[in-house]
Structure 1
Amino acid sequence: MKRRVLSLILVPFLLFYALPAGAVEKEERKWQDETIYFLMTDRFHNGDPSNDFEVNVKDPEAYQGGDFQGIIEKLDYLKEMGFTAIELTPIFDNEAKGYHGFWIQDFYKTEEHFGTIKEFKKLVEEAHKRDMKVILDFVVNHVGPNHPWINDPKKEGWFQGKQPLNDNGEENPDLPILNTENPEVKEYLFDAAKWWIKKTDVDGYRLDMVQQASQPFWSEFSKEVKSVKKDFYLLGEGSNNNLQNISKYDDNGIGGFVDFPQAEEMRKVFQKPDVSMEGLFHYFDQNQSLFEQPHLMGTIIDNHDMNRFTSLIVQNKQFPGTRWKLALTYMYTVPGIPIVYYGSEIALNGGESSDNHRLMNFKTDEELIDHITKLGELRQDLPALTRGTMELLYEKDGMAVFKRNYKDETIVVAINNSSKSQQVTISSDELEENKELRGVLAGGMVKEENGDYSIILDRESSEIFALAEKSGLNLSFIGALSAVYIIFLIFIYFVWKRGRKKRKDTK
């Protein structure tokens, strides 16, 4: 009881201190304000055992029970971590052992292991009730290896060869590549894409390997889907790391693209300490020159096609939680839309192929989840993190400081990716005179002294600062708060006195 009362007394003080002064007024939500959780339906959560046929959790290539109902049951879990959207690997009807969703058999049916279309519609409705958006992986370039179209004489001209699903081609059957220049193929894909929007009210598509279709195809595709839902988000994923080639598709209605080059650099920088961060800070400048809306780029650390970031950390004999915190702080605070692969919040491990599709485990340490939750809150509360300009203020020996500016809001991010404490002095010329930096991630404060801000960070740690007016004693606030506490204490006294009288009366 004493602990609870103490917490009630302290909460107003903590809230007053934590909120940055002069924050920008909340504006209409845009796609660049989203934070996306990317999951593989079969490997996330089993909510409906009735569809668990041919399920074998000991076989990494078999279905393991995840379904739409399981996602519904975990929406609050995702919402509480600050995620505003979920992205799903393909949910369409697949061939045997197509747990990942990429061996599509029928574009108009859901995979029966995942649930019915009615259950998927319920998933979208439940997400929307929580103000969360839903993005589907929509594959236009291939179908399953044994699709009936292959031997259908009426579908002659629908295909243009075969290629492996991914780099581990020896473990996967060749996939028939659709001829997206064929008018009948285009009509089929456009109709299917629109049908899912009309039927389920999904909010966006991730487009696999955009370079396997032409620019005119994507222009038509974009026009068709946005005729159904205007603010429909299209996230393109290229087949290589050359953003200059992928940027050719920027004028074809695709909102943003998965930023693989930056992901590779993040994985190199943050898998162990004492690695220079200099290379990271070229990407926003590059994206600004290549893309019309660089804030809509998809920022990732890993995904379903890559060895998990945790595996790189373990190889370097580092503690995963510490390394993940630094990488996530960077990813959440630079321009772009963070896309967090399921299991990252528990530092799930995994190597090549299906090993990085391990079943999710919800019974783990909360420390990394708490860090993600705080980052998610800050992205929603501080528009500079989603809409602001970016400027590097300092980078040396694994320590970096950069600022984000939007209107009257200035946010300063400091990341110490080194094995020792670091002190960095930032001139008020780079910020403003007679202000202070309030730590909104871990706490703490840096006041301007003699024209400088001296930022000190422990080894392998990070902080996000809000630039604010120098704080002092707010006598009116303290007086009002004191009056509230006096009334509160009087109330507690009378409750205690009444309880004592009742105990006497019952003796």
Structure 2
Amino acid sequence: MRDQIVYIMRKIILSILLGVIVIACKANKTQLEREHAGESKENPVLQDLASLIQLGTEETTVNLSDYFIEGSKAKIIRLPEGLKLIKNDSGIITFSGKMNNSIDYVSVEFDQQHYDIPVRNTSRIPYTFSFTPDKKYKKLQVKGSFNGWDVNANPLVLKDGKYQFTVMLNPGNYQYCFVEGDKEFIDPTNPKKVSNGVGGYNSTFSVGDLDAIKPFITTVGNQKKWKIIADQEVNFLAFYNNQFISLSKGKELQGKVPQEAEEATRSFIRVYAYNNKSGVANDILIPLHKGIPIEKVDELPRTDKRKYIMYSLMIDRFKDADPSNNFQVGEPEVKPEADFQGGDLKGITEKVKEGFFTNLGVNTIWLSPVVQNPDEGYGLLDTDYIKTKFSGYHGYWPVSSSKIDPRFGTEEDFKELIEEAHKRNINILVDYVANHVHLNHPVLKEHPDWITKAKLPDGTDNIRKFDAQRFTTWFDKHIPSLDFSKPEVVDQMTDSAVYWFKNYEIDGFRHDATKHIQNEFWRTLTKKLKEQVILPENRSIYQIGETYGSHEMVNSYVNNGMLDAQFEFSLYHHLSNSVTNPKISMKDLKIALEENLFYYGSHNIMGTISGNHDKIRITSMGDGSFADGEDTHKTAWIKKTLNKNPLGFKKTGIVMAFNLTAPGVPVIYQGDEFGMPGADDPDNRRMMEFDIANGSDQRPWVISERKELLEKTKKLTHLRENNMALIYGDTKILYADQNVLVFMRHYMDNTVITALNAGESTEKVSITLPQTKSYRKLKTNFGQGFKINENQLELILKGNSFEILTDNKK
């Protein structure tokens, strides 16, 4: 009762401030401030900004160990009105109810300090799925993004001539398909469908009002005098690092910071806003240096994760600089495309030294796995068009979790690569494989019982059942999945992961097959990294996962105690489909971007990809290289896809423009920067080309288009790496129709407007801009026509083109 009275009084006092963000200087600094100030961490507590808690429909469970290393010692001292604590089991807390406000916070006491964690009410509403069958089915099942693609989640029962059930869902678009036996098919009664990314389609349905206008807040001014304004009256909640400091109501929040911020080399202001009529607004994130908002990108360190521009490469397929370590499997059953081709660590170091990555404008390199793989061929693809085994050139079949594959180089080679990259302010991420190991891995020889069962109870093979047997399925017979329900497996594999940070100055991991590993592994790994690396070495580490699934599933791994981010495959599929398929509207991309911001936050660091080693090349999608429904896996083996026409390059440019100006971490897959073509694996994994003029395709128009796209990509990365609005800015979607999408990024007095036209014809678009600043200094970067009259913007966009408007600071 006493704690509640203290908080009520505190709230009254703070409300008197009428929106001024201010708080008395505290004697104890938070962990975040100690980290940026480089001070000791004798009592490690909440590391980094607290991730937002999203309430469930009825009950919500929060593991306080995600926020504090010793979560069992944390004490809840305040819950928002409307919530009730019903269970606290050694720091795993469960509460029920619904908050009276859309946004609030939970207060936690740890080590005699208090921390405030923002909380958001559920937005789920009931949706009734209904299907009137067109024929009689023996056993019909349904799976989709609404149920984690689990055919058993929502059993279909035929009643009164319909299959029907009700689920609670957030507003948005959802994909689904029906399943009968081993056959999957779209809804024959629903004309709405989208590509499923593997040569087929999924049906779709929408939930809620997707055109509803929510409040929008933004920063205006400069580091000397700034404020936050809203386009309608809202309730503002402001936080300094991990402490609530202000609650106010209105359309403005004056920009002042706590006095203690003046002592911190890096701290943050976070602001949330909502009203009961329109819902929750975007959130604001402002990095501070000595209490002053940062306005110049060069004030951000190399390790600032929101500053990342990532380049994804396959070591074996990038650059061969040391022929002495070229050892192919050489078995006749292994086709050349499936064997080692000579790329190595020295080749990457060579390109680092030459300035390849710096000139391209990327500051982070994601390496495919460096660990040792088998010397023999495994697996068997036996079809009417190809019969082959495979080598482990890709790195995903580890026979060791700590040794570098000698075909890639030595420990010294790897250390030199990291050192040379860091000299040039480039981060190095390593692909880590924990889910499975090769049959020849020593851990299986010592502990053969550490793997999941190869057979299911019905006698079928537990192979590639990625959704139905999510935590146990094997990817293939020679790479059994580890059983992470066993604590000893978790302990062993997390130690192996930490080894890479203790022995090499790497900056993070890309985690393979994330959703197939239980949460305990991720929590244990991140806790060990905090205890053994992050806190004692004052070191920044970025962990990004690979998960195909619903937004809820993907986001369940992203928090302070698990991963920093995941790759946003859903956004990529909407982007690639909307840009390359004229039947799919750019409004779908608009909705996908809104869903991204809703689930992962306005300032998320999810990976937004141009493609990867498992997908058709975006340039080949764009130029119509493949017929509708074509088996691109077959195509990848029977012919080498070539650039078909200039349209593919234009489409790729639009994808690059979106990724390099939208929120998140942009990821360029090797060769996409100039439009390498390709179908599925192995056609999308060709050896990298560096000399366009003397490359594999000598057609003059191809050389010209590749050079033009490369220059556009470099210009886009340059805009990204030098503009705070594209790193810490808020995002507002300004316009969307069938062919055009326009959105704005804004930070203080800095504005960037991205306009994309995926249609064939020139489009003229008129937009009313927010009345927050003067737009007279906007300039074009890619030569498109535009006019500005106060806050009225008129754009003229050529077909299949883009434009980025920025402030002219001269």
TM over 0.5: yes
Deviations 1:398-432 (A, max 9, x none): 11211011122111111111111111122254564
| Match status 1:425 vs 2:739 | no
Indicate how the Cα distance of structure 1 residues 197 and 301 shifts in structure 2: closer, same or farther if over 3 A, else same.
same
Show the 5 A alignment for 1:316-395: 318-319=645-646, 320-364=648-692, 365-395=706-736
Aligned-partner SS, 2:343: coil
TM-fit CA distance, 1:455: 1.4
Q: Tell me what 1:39 maps to.
A: 313
Q: Percent identity?
A: 31
Deviations 1:67-99 (A, max 9, x none): 001001112111110000000111100013210
TM-fit CA distance, 1:314: 3.6
Q: Distance in 1 between matches of 2:775 and 2:406?
A: 63
Report the AA paired with residue 450 of structure 2: W
Deviations 1:15-58 (A, max 9, x none): xxxxxx98933342420111000000000010101101227797
Judge conservation of contact 2:785–2:796 (CA < 8 Å) in 1.
no
Q: Tell me what 2:508 maps to.
A: 204
Q: Distance in 2 between matches of 1:415 and 1:191?
A: 46
Q: Tell me what 2:520 maps to.
A: 216
Q: Distance in 1 between matches of 2:347 and 2:775?
A: 52
| Match status 1:98 vs 2:369 | no
Judge conservation of contact 1:433–1:448 (CA < 8 Å) in 2.
no
Show the 5 A alignment for 1:102-501: 102-150=396-444, 152=445, 154-162=446-454, 173-227=477-531, 228-229=533-534, 230-238=539-547, 240-251=548-559, 252-272=561-581, 275-291=584-600, 294-315=603-624, 318-319=645-646, 320-364=648-692, 365-429=706-770, 432-433=773-774, 435-439=776-780, 441-443=781-783, 446-449=786-789, 452-467=792-807
Q: Distance in 2 between matches of 1:69 and 1:165?
A: 35
TM-fit CA distance, 1:443: 4.5
**Count of aligned pairs between the two proteins:** 445
Indicate how the Cα distance of structure 1 residues 451 and 28 shifts in structure 2: closer, same or farther if over 3 A, else same.
closer
Aligned-partner SS, 2:449: coil
Indicate how the Cα distance of structure 1 residues 117 and 60 shifts in structure 2: closer, same or farther if over 3 A, else same.
same
Judge conservation of contact 2:475–2:481 (CA < 8 Å) in 1.
no
Deviations 1:108-128 (A, max 9, x none): 210111001110111111111
Give the structure with the higher percent helix.
1
Indicate how the Cα distance of structure 1 residues 370 and 179 shifts in structure 2: closer, same or farther if over 3 A, else same.
same
TM-score, normalised by the number of residues in structure 1: 0.81
Judge conservation of contact 2:365–2:429 (CA < 8 Å) in 1.
yes
Judge conservation of contact 2:670–2:688 (CA < 8 Å) in 1.
yes
Judge conservation of contact 2:317–2:342 (CA < 8 Å) in 1.
yes
Q: Distance in 2 between matches of 1:170 and 1:435?
A: 59
Q: Tell me what 1:496 maps to.
A: none
Deviations 1:263-301 (A, max 9, x none): 111111222557521111223432333235752101013
Q: Tell me what 1:81 maps to.
A: 360
Aligned-partner SS, 2:734: strand
Judge conservation of contact 1:166–1:305 (CA < 8 Å) in 2.
no
Report the AA paired with residue 353 of structure 1: D
Deviations 1:427-459 (A, max 9, x none): 2545645624211x3246745337522211222
TM-score, normalised by the number of residues in structure 2: 0.52
Indicate how the Cα distance of structure 1 residues 416 and 456 shifts in structure 2: closer, same or farther if over 3 A, else same.
same
Q: Distance in 2 between matches of 1:226 and 1:164?
A: 35
Task: Give the unaligned 5+ runs of structure 2.
Answer: 1-220, 223-293, 376-390, 455-461, 467-472, 626-643, 693-705
Deviations 1:366-411 (A, max 9, x none): 2222111111111111111122111111112311211011122111
Return the structure number with greater relative CO, CA threshold 8 A, min gap 6: 1
| Match status 1:59 vs 2:333 | no
Indicate how the Cα distance of structure 1 residues 95 and 141 shifts in structure 2: closer, same or farther if over 3 A, else same.
same
Once the two structures are overlaid, the 10-residue window that deviates more, 256-265 or 366-375, is 366-375
Aligned-partner SS, 1:74: helix
Q: Distance in 1 between matches of 2:450 and 2:351?
A: 40
TM-fit CA distance, 1:346: 2.8
Indicate how the Cα distance of structure 1 residues 135 and 91 shifts in structure 2: closer, same or farther if over 3 A, else same.
same
Judge conservation of contact 1:71–1:123 (CA < 8 Å) in 2.
yes
Q: Distance in 2 between matches of 1:428 and 1:176?
A: 55
Q: Distance in 2 between matches of 1:429 and 1:107?
A: 53
Indicate how the Cα distance of structure 1 residues 425 and 103 shifts in structure 2: closer, same or farther if over 3 A, else same.
same
Indicate how the Cα distance of structure 1 residues 271 and 166 shifts in structure 2: closer, same or farther if over 3 A, else same.
farther
Judge conservation of contact 1:305–1:353 (CA < 8 Å) in 2.
yes
Deviations 1:211-269 (A, max 9, x none): 2222222111112123313410000111x231211211223321011101111111112
Judge conservation of contact 1:84–1:131 (CA < 8 Å) in 2.
yes
Q: Distance in 1 between matches of 2:407 and 2:463?
A: 24
Indicate how the Cα distance of structure 1 residues 450 and 134 shifts in structure 2: closer, same or farther if over 3 A, else same.
closer
Judge conservation of contact 1:33–1:386 (CA < 8 Å) in 2.
yes
Once the two structures are overlaid, the 10-residue window that deviates more, 94-103 or 138-147, is 138-147
Indicate how the Cα distance of structure 1 residues 326 and 453 shifts in structure 2: closer, same or farther if over 3 A, else same.
same
Indicate how the Cα distance of structure 1 residues 166 and 64 shifts in structure 2: closer, same or farther if over 3 A, else same.
farther
Once the two structures are overlaid, the 10-residue window that deviates more, 328-337 or 207-216, is 207-216
Give the structure with the higher percent strand.
2
Report the AA paired with residue 157 of structure 1: D
Judge conservation of contact 2:344–2:407 (CA < 8 Å) in 1.
yes
Q: Distance in 1 between matches of 2:434 and 2:329?
A: 28
Q: Distance in 2 between matches of 1:296 and 1:429?
A: 26
Q: Tell me what 1:494 maps to.
A: none
